[in-house]
Structures are given as C-alpha cells and as structure tokens.
Structure 1
Amino acid sequence: MKIAAVIAAGGTGIRLGSRVPKQFLELAGVPILLRSLEALIAVEEVCEAVVALPAAHIPAARGLLAGRTWRIPVRCVRGGETRQESVRHAVEATPSQADLILVHDAARPLTDRATIERVIAAAWAKGGAVPALPATETIQRVSATGRILKSPPREELYAIQTPQGFRARILRRALESARKAGFSGTDESSVVRWAGHAVSVVPGSPANIKITRPMDLEVAELFLEGGRGSVEPRIGHGIDYHRLARGRKLVLGGVEIPFEKGLLGHSDADALAHAVCDALLGAAGLDDIGRHFSERDPANRNRPSLEFLAEVRRMLDAAGWRIRNVDCTVLAERPRLAPYRDEMRRRIAGALSILPEQVNVKATTTEGRNAEGRGEAISAQAVALIERRIR
C-alpha cells in the first residue's frame, strides 16, 4: 500500500496572540510543523508528503524542511482561501499512484503511531476513517441570542481529530465534486460523507490536541514531558547602553523608529534586544552577549540584533531551558516610544518563538538627568524568567 500524507498548515496564530504562525512556533525546541510531519513520515507506507500553507509562509516552511533529512519527498504547495481549498490543492499534488491519503492538521503535533495505524487500517477496509474521542460533557445547540435550542444525545457526539484517512480515489472525487457544487464542509470527512461515502470512527488519543490557544502549548509540553519531575526556575538581568549619533538608524526591539539620531554600535545597536539577550544568557549561566556576538567579528557588523535573540533562544533550547517571560524597560528622553511598544513585543516574541503576552516592554524618561535625559544615549534593562524540568 502506498500512502500520501497531506499537512494542512494554514494557521495564522491569531487566537494564540502570536506574530509567528502557530505551525512555526516551537514545542519543546522543535517547530510544531516538523513534529506533525515527522509523526506521519514515521509510517513506512507513507511515500510522499505535501504541506499546504499560505504563499507568504512557503519560504519559511522550505527553510525548516531544508534543515532536516527526509526519507521521502516533502513538498510545499500554496493553499487556498479555505481549509478545504488548501487540502484540495495538496491532494492534487500527491502522486497518482497513492492508494490512500492521510490529511493531518499541522497544529496537532502529538498524534501517536497507534492512532495513525488505526486510521489507516479502517480507511483501507472501509474507504474512509477518522480518529475521535467521545464527548465527556453536555453539548448544547445554542441560538445566536444565547438560548439553548436542543440537547443532542451525548452518546452520539464525538470530537473528531486528525489524521483523517481515505482511499485516494474517494477523496479526490469528493473534493472535486464539492468544488463544482460549491459545497463547503467543516473537514474532509464531512466532504466525503456529502459525496455519498461512509466514514468510520476509530479511537483517537487524548494527547492528540490541536494547538489553538496559549494554554494548549502548556498542555502539549506536559504531555511530552510525561508530567514528571520538578521545575528549576532561573532569573536573569540584562542591561545595555548606547550613545546616540547622527547618520544612524534608531532600532529598538527590532523596530526602526523615525528619529534624527540612531544608536552607535557594531551591529544595529538595538539596546533593547541586547538587554534581553544578556538577561536570558545570564539566567541560563551562558556568559554574556559580548562573548557570543563579539564586536571584533566582522560578521556582526550592522547585523540585526533580532538574529542574536534567535541564536540565544537556540542556545537555551540546547541546554533544556524554556522561556517563561521577559520584562523590559527602555530609558530614553526622546523619541516617544509608546506607539511602538506593541510591535517591539511582537518582534521580540517572534525572534524567541514565544507569545507576545510573554514579553512586556515599558519606556520611561530620566527627567533630564544623566546621558539619557540629555538626549545623548538610550539604555535598556531586561529581566527574564526561564525554567527547565528536572527529572
């Protein structure tokens, strides 16, 4: 049997509050997209994988894929306006010799081998199958005004997961028929059923959660860690100071701010990003920014400091540390920084592969005192909390 795997990776991260699309966020040091993809590719019968995602995200996805060695071809295709259209594009790109097609949410990084094999066996035997968990709470139909309309029998209600599996011929025809008829389903199983085919349910897994909200990341990491061991927290402090000079761009937190002066330094002199780097390095006991990103290194000349942050994150990952939050303060008399703080938070969070709500940026003046107050310099301070699990 030859199986093609389709990964639906159209998530934006809006409900997570993340500037980084959720499929690119890291879960225990590994991007969610790679975890989801690796789970399917581990099945020997899978002969090719196709990832459907927005065109703007394809370069980033290809960059991630290029960093791994895959035993089968893995391709990226442009998605559509809806999940159904994206999946159809990916299915059209799968090899014609595929007997079975598995469709999986990129945001389900914890699917297990047993669940995948149950789906494959049932789909091959019956034409289509989905993993599901029986509802454990009362589920009501509710009107637009908030009034309960009906209570469906709980024994008939299941929460449907992915991967969903179908004989390739059935899924291809169902998606094409739905396109021509203008039918839109909530998932592949609803499209296949609309096309007149039966879909069976097999037991899913409680760990096969979909990463949608910030708490889902926390829960997923607990599943990965097995809920064992205690947590070792560490706190680090960082401070950075740069003189203002004409002819330089002013960059703080990765945001270029219109001003007649910029900060003087070997890199882009982003004092805020540098302070965060030192806070994280200090918390992890990994020395300081000067050791890792020397001013004597020509490669760091005019380099964006957000790249330093991304490298620091990788150092922490390698040492088993997880970033819990970062709190920063910028000291500057001018310019006014309040309009740029939210974008600073988003860019710092993106570089660190964490959520914006885990980053706080404040700004204050020194009321005309010292170099900051005289408009000669800008400084930044940061405090970071990190943790790692001790078994």
Structure 2
Amino acid sequence: MTQTSSTSDDSAGRIAVVIAAAGMGRRMGGAVPKQFHTIAGGPLFLHTIRAFLASRHIFEVIIVTAADHLETTRTLCEKYFGEDSRLKFVVGGTRRQDSVFNGLKATSAPFTLVHDAARPLVSERIIADCCHALRLGKAVLTAIPVVDTIKRVADGMVTATIDRTGLYRAQTPQGAATMVLIGAFQRFGQKNITDESSLLELAGIPVEIIPGDEKNFKVTLPEDLARAEERLRDNPLEIKLRPSTSFNTTLPRIGHGFDAHRFARGRDLILGGVKIPWPLGLDGHSDADVITHAVCDALLGASAQGDIGRAFPDSDNQYRGINSLILLERVMQSLAPLLIGNIDITVICQAPKLSPFLVEMRQNLLIDTRFFADQIHTAECINIKATTEEKMGYTGRGEGISCHAVALLVPAPQQPRD
C-alpha cells in the first residue's frame, strides 16, 4: 500500500483526529470512566480535545465514546467549545480498536491521527510534527526512547537484562492515510492489538517515529490525575456560554428564572451569597443558593442560552459545593453585547425571616453585575424582596425555599464618534 502525499492545507491535505474516549479506565477505579474525571476546570477528555481544536493543522475532531455517554459527551463539548463544526461524535465498539475503526469510517479527511482521550498534555509541536509527516506520505508513531534498564522477570525473579538500544515507549498520536488505516483494520482487525502502529506493522506499512514527550503521559492511575492537574492548573478549561446570534440584539430582552430547594440538615443556608444563621440549609449539588440560581436562570433565559441545569449540570463534579456567585460571574461573561437593565427578585420563604439580610444579598449581586453594567446602573439595577405563602404550599409548610427572578437585558449603548 502507498499513501497519498500533500504539502498544502487544502482538502487534499486535511487531517482528522480520532479521540478514543470509549473506554472505562478500570485501573483508575470508581464508577466514572477516567476521561470524565474533572481536572483544571473540566473533564479530562476536554483538555485533550482542546489541544487539537487549537491546532491549525487539524480539520476535524472525531470523539468516539460509549453509547451511554454519547449525549453527555456532546453536551459537555457544546458547553465548553460552543457549536464547533469541527467536532463529530461517534459511538464506540467493544474494543478500543473497534472504536477507532468506527471513528475512521466517519471522516472524509485523507489523513487521520488517533489519540488517547487520557493524554491531555499533547503539545502543538507533537501535533504539528505528526501532521507534517502525514502530508509527506508517512505513517507516524509518537514515541520516546527507553532510558531505564529493562529486566525480564519470571516468578518474581530476574531472568535477563534486555538491551535497551533501539527500544521506544509508544505514545499517541499515531496515524497514516485514512484509507491505509481502514484497509489495515479490515485485514487484521480481528486480532487484538494495542495501538494503530501495531496494526500498520501487520499490514507491512513502514512507521516513522515522531519524538514524543514525557509530559504526554497517559492518565491511568489516580496519581496520574494529580500530575495532570498540576500541569494544567495555569490553563484551566472555561465554559463557553454564548448568547444566540439569531436574535435581534437591538431590542430589549426579558427572561424569567425560578429555583426551589428543600431544607436539609448538615448544610449552611446560603441565599444571595449570604450565610443565614439557621439550623437547616438547602439541599443541592452546589451551595443551593436559590436566589443566585434564579438570577442566573433569568439571565440565561433572556439571552437564549437555556437554563442553569444545562449550563452547570449536577452531573459535573466541578460544581459540587461551588459558590453560586461564581456561576453568576460566568453567566455575566456570556451576555455581551447585552447589558442588564434591571433584575427583580422575589424570595418565597416562611422561615427564617430574611428582611435583615436583603441589603447584603443585594450588595453581593451588585458586585457581580457592576463590571458588566459599566456602573451605569448601581442601586437601581437590582431589587430583591421576600414574602411568605401564609403557610400554604411546600414553602408555607417550611419544606424549603423558592425564588422567582425577572431580568431585562438591553442593547449596549453606541459609543460616541470622535
């Protein structure tokens, strides 16, 4: 078999990457697949995807995931990367090689790299080197030389020392011309293989080594998560909440938000960012601040961005116990080019009495909105009031607290011309 070569970035030289993210990562332990563990602001596999989306050499990113994680994967990618047309989602197979084969069949790009979802620290240098070699018609394997002395062991005893000359540790990305890979899978896919370069060897395809990097390690054990977290801490993932571009931002927009939480023992009662002295708190994944949640919901509604559950799902551990004012800050960052006209809030609570705390709640919310409103609106920007239901309904019976919020978003004023 021969590969087609191209030295340009046109369609003949397009390169896709298949991200293998369908495994369970059993050595990591726990019920959650390792690629969904949260580090540095988001799930592990999203750091991996971000690295390839940031590369000008990559035409398409195909994420292969288990069928029961497909929608979660799609939702998380949309939340962090927006509606990026380069992303494609494919259901994986029983084995890693079956999943990769499914991904290969989903792309029209003439060249394809394959990369482990659990290698989030792949560098642009590695990606670029692999892509350059692919366009020259080569198959590639990212690898690093073995530097430790290698021993052969049987029954716990050393039987021989292996000459490490010419030995390399395989990493990913690995790749070749797409049809070459597909052909190799069709011929030898029934065999159990550990990586694509092994398959290419069986097919008689020469594979060139691309120098890897010790930082490009595979997260396998719990201690690997800590290593990856340390290296990614200065470059965390950020949610990309984006208002719809389909509506007319020259007109005011109104959104309504509602939230309710039941009381629970052993939790602090947080409302509008204020800790209320009370023996019961509110039950929830975050701090269960119904006031701030309702405000977030109203702003997301006015800007056509869904609701707080979609933006910050309780299935994501990064939001466990989080201060809801942080969530409000993230929503605020997504509102441009709209400004807040005003927010009106009604808290429904039989007990405790909230009137002594309303001024502080309002001040907390103003702090998070002032930078956006450019200090045009201050005291008039937010109104907050509390009421009871005269002992009717679930709040009247003291089972919990609910809150309504209405927000008005207005177009940003035009800057005066010089």
**CA separation of 1:55 and 1:206: change in aligned 2, threshold 3 A:** same
Aligned to 1:153: 163
- In the alignment, which of 100, 120, 125 is matched to residue 87 of structure 1? 100
Q: Name the TM-score, length of structure 1 as normaliser.
A: 0.60
Contact 2:314–2:320 under 8 Å retained in 1:
no
- Quickly say closer, same or farther: Cα 1:176–1:308, change in 2 above 3 A: closer
Task: Report the alpha carbon displacement of residue 123 of structure 1 after superposing the two structures with TM.
Answer: 2.9
CA distance in structure 2 between the partners assigned to 1:115 and 1:136 by the alignment: 20
Do 1:27 and 1:217's aligned partners in 2 also have CA atoms closer than 8 Å? yes
CA contact (8 A) 1:124 1:166 kept: no
The gaps in structure 1 that reach 5 residues or longer are 227-265, 320-391
Q: Which residue of 2 aligns with 1:17?
A: 29
8 Å CA contact retained: 2:22, 2:92: yes
Q: Would you say 1:42 and 2:54 are equivalent positions?
A: yes
Separation of aligned partners in 1, 2:54 and 2:31: 30
1:62 aligns with 2:70: no
Instruction: Give, in angstroms, the shift of residue 270 of structure 1.
Output: 5.6
Q: Which residue of 1 aligns with 2:305?
A: none
**1:293 equivalent in structure 2:** 289
In the TM superposition, residue 104 of structure 1 has moved relative to its aligned partner by 0.5
Query: What does residue 125 of structure 1 align with?
Result: 136
> In 1, distance between residues paired with 2:72 and 2:107?
21
| 1:44 partner SS | coil
Q: What's 2:214 paired with?
A: 206
Q: How many residues align?
A: 264
CA distance in 2, matches of 1:36, 1:199: 24
- Whether the 8 Å CA contact 1:127–1:170 is kept in 2: the answer is no
Q: Whole-Å Cα distance in 2 between the matches of residues 317 and 109 of structure 1?
A: 29
Instruction: Give yes or no for contact 1:13–1:19 (8 Å, CA) kept in 2.
Output: no
Residue 176 of structure 1: aligned partner:
186
How far apart are 1:170 and its partner, in Å? 1.4
Q: Distance in 1 between matches of 2:72 and 2:185?
A: 28
Residue 311 of structure 1, CA deviation: 3.5
SS at match of 1:171: helix
Structure 1 residue 293 displacement after superposition: 2.6
Letter in 2 for 1:43: S
Distance in 2, Cα, partners of 1:310 & 1:188: 34
Summarize the alignment of residues 336-375 of structure 1 with structure 2, pairs less than 5 Å apart: none
The equivalences for 1:1-391 within 5 A come to: 1-67=13-79, 68-95=81-108, 98-143=109-154, 145-179=155-189, 182-225=190-233, 267=261, 271=265, 275=267, 278=268, 287=275, 292-294=288-290, 311-313=319-321, 315=323
Partner of 2:162, secondary structure, is coil
With over 3 angstroms needed to count, the CA separation of the structure-2 counterparts of 1:5 and 1:294, relative to structure 1, is same
**Aligned amino acid, residue 155 of structure 1:** T
| Alignment deviations for residues 2-51 of structure 1 (CA, whole Å, 9 cap, x no partner) | 01110000232432223221111122112211111111122223222211
Structure 2 unaligned regions, length at least 5: 1-12, 235-259, 298-308, 328-418
Change (3 A) 1:151 1:37: same
Residues 139-163 of structure 1: per-residue CA shift (max 9 Å, x gap): 23333x3343443321222111111
Change (3 A) 1:42 1:140: same
TM-score by length of 2: 0.56
Please provide the CA RMSD for this pair.
Answer: 3.4
8 Å contact 1:100–1:168 — kept in the other structure? Answer: yes
Residue 315 (structure 1) shift: 4.2
The answer to whether the 8 Å contact 2:261/2:290 transfers is no
Give the aligned residue type for 1:33. Answer: F
Q: How has the CA–CA distance of structure 1 residues 57 and 146 changed in structure 2, closer, same or farther, with 3 Å as cutoff?
A: same
Kept in 1, the 8 Å contact 2:293–2:324? The answer is no
Shift of 1:286: 8.0
Question: SS at 2:150's partner residue?
Answer: coil
Cα distance in 1 between the residues matched to 2:82 and 2:70: 18
The question of whether the paired residues in 2 share the 8 Å contact of 1:126 and 1:200 is answered with no
Distance 1:79 1:128, change over 3 A: same
Larger Rg computed on CA atoms: 2
Q: Is the 8 A contact 2:38 2:318 kept in 1?
A: no
Higher helix share: 1
Closer, same or farther in 2 for the Cα pair 1:175/1:287, shift >3 Å?
A: farther
Larger deviation, residues 160-169 vs 192-201: 160-169
C-alpha change, 1:18 and 1:313, in structure 2 (3 Å) is farther
Look up the equivalent residue of 2:144 and give its one-letter code: L
Q: Aligned in 2, Cα 1:268/1:138: closer, same or farther, shift over 3 Å?
A: farther
| Change in 2 beyond 3 A, CA 1:125/1:309 | closer
